Structure 1
């Protein structure tokens, strides 16, 4: 029997209000034994205690700080366009875990490790990423329906894999493996505590959903 039997993956658009509502609905309906979210300790703390970082502050931390600054600005821009601050669905899962007394697990790779891997990307990929990131300061059309967002997102993921093979592996495939491994450990822990049919809900970005499910489905309990 595969681990996927015990884990329900909710794939979310981090800046979509509909994703936040879906997280709330599924958790309240399923009443899981555990909730897992696509965060590490540093990002978990940042979501709980949001602080604005200026470009001047980012520069003080060197290339690592600048990369994190650009990624933050991209999420902020998307949040403004779609009416939801970045990580709203993660905050919803965190709040419900607290209210319902459900154990909460952080399953993603450490952000500093991710950033260091990005810095090791081929020069071509880093240059292209910087150039494309500049468009974050330009207006773009608002999408009215989430199904349009999802369609556009799937197209974007295919294009991203083609343009950034190294970053795709680092940001998607390697993190899929880490999150799947952590989810399997959660299931094993619940079973060791005597829970015969554990129910775990994992809230991850839409780009990770299929990859994590595929790994879980290939591993037997």
Structure 2
């Protein structure tokens, strides 16, 4: 059985306004039994409180805090360039789930585990990431209309996997596995509650969509395992 019968993935670009609109429209039109988002508990609570990590906060958490702070600033800069704060598409999914009164599931790997893996990356990849990350903070010169980042994602992901093989593994492939497992658990738990043909919509980053779909398509039926979740 393919779990793609039950799960529809929306691949989003975290800094694209089109993603936010697609997420809200699709969920309200499809009216699923559950909504899943690429967040963990820590990031969900931070998003709900609208609290942003300061440099002072990052310093208290040491190396992992500084890595998290730098990544957040990179996304913030991109959001300014494309007219959208990072996470707006996730907020749209949360609002849509609440509007429909369906459960909201948090399916991503724990951010502390992710940061630990990033901190353990090879020195070459750390240095390269630091150097390339600095360019994000420089003004972007534009002679015309900015390209839609969603149309460029395949090239971006291929280049990222080539330049950062370790980081690609931990940031993309391993998280795909975690999210696919959680989605399978959601489907099985809905079936155990008596939903004969569960419909789940999952909102994930565009780079995760093909990998998760591949895993869901190849997966065999498993016994239900409860993921942590928030009721809408």
Question: TM-score of the superposition, structure 2-length normalised?
Answer: 0.91
CA deviations 1:152-194 (Å, max 9, x no partner) are 2221111110010000000000000000000000000011111
Aligned to 1:149: 149
Could you list the runs of 4 or more consecutive aligned residues of structure 1 that deviate by over 6 angstroms after TM superposition?
none
Does the Cα contact within 8 Å between 1:40 and 1:110 map onto a contact in 2?
A: yes
CA deviations 1:131-155 (Å, max 9, x no partner) are 1111121122568577x41232221
In the superposition, relative to structure 1, how do residues 144 and 7 fare at CA in structure 2: closer, same or farther (>3 Å)? Answer: farther
Does the Cα contact within 8 Å between 2:6 and 2:197 map onto a contact in 1?
A: yes
Aligned to 2:16: 16
Report the Cα distance in structure 1 between the residues aligned to 2:193 and 2:60, rounded to whole angstroms: 47
- Any idea what SS the aligned residue of 1:196 has? coil
Does the Cα contact within 8 Å between 2:46 and 2:52 map onto a contact in 1?
A: no
- Any idea what SS the aligned residue of 2:52 has? coil
- Any idea what SS the aligned residue of 2:208 has? helix
Aligned to 1:182: 182
Identify the structure with the greater helix proportion.
1
Matched, 1:74 2:68: no
Aligned to 2:99: 99
Aligned to 1:125: 125
Does the Cα contact within 8 Å between 1:15 and 1:78 map onto a contact in 2?
A: yes
Unmatched 5+ residue regions in structure 1? none
Does the Cα contact within 8 Å between 1:12 and 1:204 map onto a contact in 2?
A: yes
Unmatched 5+ residue regions in structure 2? 222-232
Aligned to 2:28: 28
Question: TM-score of the superposition, structure 1-length normalised?
Answer: 0.95
Aligned to 2:46: 46
Q: CA deviation at 1:98?
A: 1.2
